[in-house]
Structure formats: C-alpha cells, structure tokens
Amino acid sequence: MITAVMPTYGRKDVVFERGEGCHLYAADGRRFLDFTSGIAVNALGHCHPYLVKALAEQGAKLWHTSNLFRIGNGERLAERLVANSFADTLFFCNSGAEAIEGGIKLIRKYQYVNGKPKRYKLICFSAAFHGRSLNALAATGNEKYLEGFGPANPGYKHAPLNNANVVRDMIDDEVAGILVEPIQGEGGIRSATPEFLRTLRAICDEFGLLLFFDEIHTGFGRTGKLWGYEWSGVKPDVAAIAKGMGSGFPVGAFMATEAAAKGMVPGTHGSTYGGNPLATGVANAVLDVILQPGFVDGVHERGLYLTRGLEALVAKHRHAFDEVRGRGFLQGLRCVVPSGEMVDRLMSLGMLVVGAGENVIRVFPPLIADKATLDEGLAILDKAAASFATKAA
C-alpha cells in the first residue's frame, strides 16, 4: 500500500524531534552531528536563538498580505542584498527551482525586448543541478531525473564543465545565455575554474548573452565568501539564490543587474507567497547574522581548518577516501568505498552527511560550527574510515 506521503524519496529511518545548533535529536533518543545542514540550508544551524526570536516576533505581527501591496520587510531585504552583491534588483520566490525558472524567464525576456526574440536557449553543463520543475530539470539535463516525464522542455544544451571551446562552438542565433553553478553541489562538488568563469563572462559580453549563476547552495557564506562567484571575481548578470537564505524558512530569489532586468515590468512575473512578511522577516534576521563583520571570514578560516583535517583523513585512509573537494563549509570527500555505505556508516556513528555525484560525500557543517564541532566531525569520519579497513582485513 502506498504511504500517505508520496514515496518519491529514499528516506533514512529516523524522525528528528529537536534541533539545537549543529546537532539533531531523534525521537528515539539518538543524537546526531548534522553535517548535512538540511542540504546547505540551515546556515545558522538549528533553532538559532536570534532566528527563533525573529520568527516568533514576526509571527505574532503579520504573516502574509500578497504582492498587491508593498511589503516593508521585503523592500529592506532586497535593498540589503542589492547593496551586498552584483545585483541592482531582485524578485522573491519560495524555492531554488522557482528562482531558476524566474531567471530563465528574465533572460528570455531580455533578449526579446532587445530585439532578439529568437534567442531563448541556455547553455548549461554536464552534472549540473538546478531543481525539479520542468524547466529547471531540462536545464539540469540528468537523464535519470527526466525519464518518463515526456520530452524535456526545449531550449537547453549541455557542455562539459571547464571547456570553453565547446561552449563557444555551441553558440548560435538561438542562444540567450549561459547557466552555471560556481561549484556544482549535486554533481559531486565540482568547481568551475576561475579562468573558465572569466572566459564565460567574455563570451557572454562578445555575443550579447546573459551570464546566469546558480548560487542556490554556494550563496550566503557557504564557500567562505558571501557569494561563490566572489572567488573568481567574475560577476554574473543574473543569479538564483535560496537554501541558506532563510536558514530553513522557505525563501528564494533571482537577482539581476538593471540592464538584464529591462523586460521585467509589471505583469511579467508573479508569486502568491513570494517575499511575504514572514519569510522576508526571517531572511532579514539571517542576514543580520551573516553580514556581521568577520562572520563570513570566520567560515573561510574554519573552512581551511576543515580542509586540512579532511586532507589528513585522505592521507591516513587511502582505502576509504581519495580526494577533498570544494571550499569553506561546502566540501566533499570522494570515497573509494561506495559513498552510500559511508553515509550509512557515519550515521550509525552519530554523524549525518549527504551523498553527491562521483561517489562523493558532502560535508556541509552549519556556518556556525566552531573548531571543536569540526573536530567532532573529523573524529567520526576517522572512525568510520577505520571501520572499513577492519572489514577489508
């Protein structure tokens, strides 16, 4: 018999009852170190007192009014995000996929209002992940996720990551823009090189295309800078953000330069919930913490510490791990043993991580994790890796 919750996920058999900082507590009494951060969502960990207070206060005042009216919290949040990014303007939505959809619409409209209505295609990359709605899925291009859902929506071509020549060869009079993750998450923590991103910028400028960065999991300090693109110095025309933005409260946005947003006039896009007072109230509180002087630099610094710790584990346990990827608190360990088994072993030892492509496990501590918490994680990873050696012997 089908479960009441549609069975589209392969879930671990645990129900969490309570979260506090970097730890989760299960209904059966087990305690876990949470290095999934809800897949790069719980930026400030679980039930951060400042966020709990902001949520409760806004919850007692006003939740939702619709976008028929001005929303003070949203205007303030937008102004702060604009002041702290490449963007001049943004549109609020509720998830990553919606942010991608909106960005795609913006790019197509930009070409249309600039007299290039035939341009609607995006160049995307192999092993990308952009979400599960039909266009985000077509942009993702993963055959497994697309199977059985009819023909993929038209307008997406895929090039290998970090090969600018292939991208250049794909450009024709129907290409409108390029969509890329500064660091691919789902794909296995694969980084676009700064040089590649600089070349994409140059290609976009040369051909009148818009450069669209998917910053959904690289944004909000996760890589040790506020935005992932800052590592390359390359600024996009459009970016999608979500995940860490609400630290667990569903909220997202697509951001753009004024020039790129030229066609987004009244009536061109909308969302019932998007940017409501509750969501943007919480997101403002998240930003209060993340924008504190030294907060993101602290993630960078502790990220280096984490990298060194993970590299030491690779050197010690060659039978289990063979590579560290990523930066900041967005890191991956490529496994020699099946990554799914590593995830399960870690869970049995009280630590939660999430798998990714290329047999990688993602190590995503909440951004508030201090060195002692990172050490706790490294010690469990050490124990898990050692347990595979024992089994092999």
Ligand X SMILES: *Cc1c(COP(=O)(O)O)cnc(C)c1O
Please pick, from the candidates 33, 55, 93, 97, the single residue that binds ligand X as defined by CB under 6 A: 97
Residue nearest to ligand X (CB): 96
Per the CB < 8 A criterion, the answer to whether 290 and 220 are in contact is yes
Q: State how far Cα 57 lies from the chain centre.
A: 28
* Site map 135..174 versus ligand X, x via CB under 6 A: ----------------------------------------
Residue list 38-77, contact with ligand X (CB under 6 A): none
Q: Which stretch binds ligand X (CB under 6 A): 26-34, 95-103, 277-285, 344-352?
A: 95-103
Is residue 242 a contact residue for ligand X (CB under 6 A)?
yes
Please pick, from the candidates 36, 73, 85, 95, the single residue that binds ligand X as defined by CB under 6 A: 95
Say whether 259 sits in a helix, a strand or coil: coil
**To the nearest whole angstrom, how small is the minimum distance from the Cβ of residue 250 to ligand X?**
8
Q: Which stretch binds ligand X (CB under 6 A): 9-17, 26-34, 128-136, 293-301?
A: 128-136
Lookup: tokens for 190: 């694969």
Element (H, E) at 243: none
Is residue 264 a contact residue for ligand X (CB under 6 A)?
no
Using alpha carbons, select from 185, 189, 253, 240 the residue that is nearest to residue 210. Answer: 240
Per the CB < 8 A criterion, the answer to whether 135 and 143 are in contact is no
**To the nearest whole angstrom, how small is the minimum distance from the Cβ of residue 347 to ligand X?**
21
C-alpha distances in Å from residue 290, one per residue of 97, 242, 345: 23, 14, 33
Please pick, from the candidates 19, 102, 131, 236, the single residue that binds ligand X as defined by CB under 6 A: 131
19 vs 185, which CB is nearer to ligand X? 185
153 vs 387, which CB is nearer to ligand X? 153
Beta-carbon neighbour count of residue 102 at 10 Å?
A: 26
Across the strands, what pairs with 355? Answer: 361
Is residue 330 a contact residue for ligand X (CB under 6 A)?
no
Is residue 185 a contact residue for ligand X (CB under 6 A)?
yes
Please pick, from the candidates 78, 122, 161, 216, the single residue that binds ligand X as defined by CB under 6 A: 216
Is residue 214 a contact residue for ligand X (CB under 6 A)?
yes
Is residue 108 a contact residue for ligand X (CB under 6 A)?
no
Per the CB < 8 A criterion, the answer to whether 390 and 222 are in contact is no
- Measured in degrees and rounded to the nearest 5, phi and psi for residue 253 equal -165, 155
100 vs 296, which CB is nearer to ligand X? 100
**To the nearest whole angstrom, how small is the minimum distance from the Cβ of residue 295 to ligand X?**
22
95 vs 280, which CB is nearer to ligand X? 95
Is residue 96 a contact residue for ligand X (CB under 6 A)?
yes
Strands 354-356 and 183-184: unpaired
Please pick, from the candidates 21, 22, 104, 181, the single residue that binds ligand X as defined by CB under 6 A: 181
Please pick, from the candidates 35, 120, 125, 129, the single residue that binds ligand X as defined by CB under 6 A: 129
Cα(268)–Cα(143) distance, integer angstroms: 31
**To the nearest whole angstrom, how small is the minimum distance from the Cβ of residue 301 to ligand X?**
24
- Measured in degrees and rounded to the nearest 5, phi and psi for residue 142 equal -75, 115
Per the CB < 8 A criterion, the answer to whether 251 and 242 are in contact is yes
Is residue 366 a contact residue for ligand X (CB under 6 A)?
no
**Cα dihedral sign, 342-344-350-356:** positive
**To the nearest whole angstrom, how small is the minimum distance from the Cβ of residue 26 to ligand X?**
24
45 vs 185, which CB is nearer to ligand X? 185
Lookup: tokens for 388: 């595979």
Cα(266)–Cα(21) distance, integer angstroms: 42
**To the nearest whole angstrom, how small is the minimum distance from the Cβ of residue 243 to ligand X?**
6
Please pick, from the candidates 46, 109, 119, 130, the single residue that binds ligand X as defined by CB under 6 A: 130
Is residue 217 a contact residue for ligand X (CB under 6 A)?
yes
Q: Which stretch binds ligand X (CB under 6 A): 124-132, 172-180, 291-299, 362-370?
A: 124-132
Amino acid identity for residue 217 in this structure: H
Contact residues for 270 (Cβ-Cβ < 8 A; gap 6+): 67
Which contacts qualify for 314-319: CB closer than 8 Å, 24 or more apart? Answer: 316/382, 316/385, 317/382, 317/385, 317/386, 317/388, 317/389, 319/385, 319/388, 319/389, 319/392
Binding site for ligand X (CB under 6 A): 95-97, 100, 129-131, 181, 185, 214, 216-217, 242-243
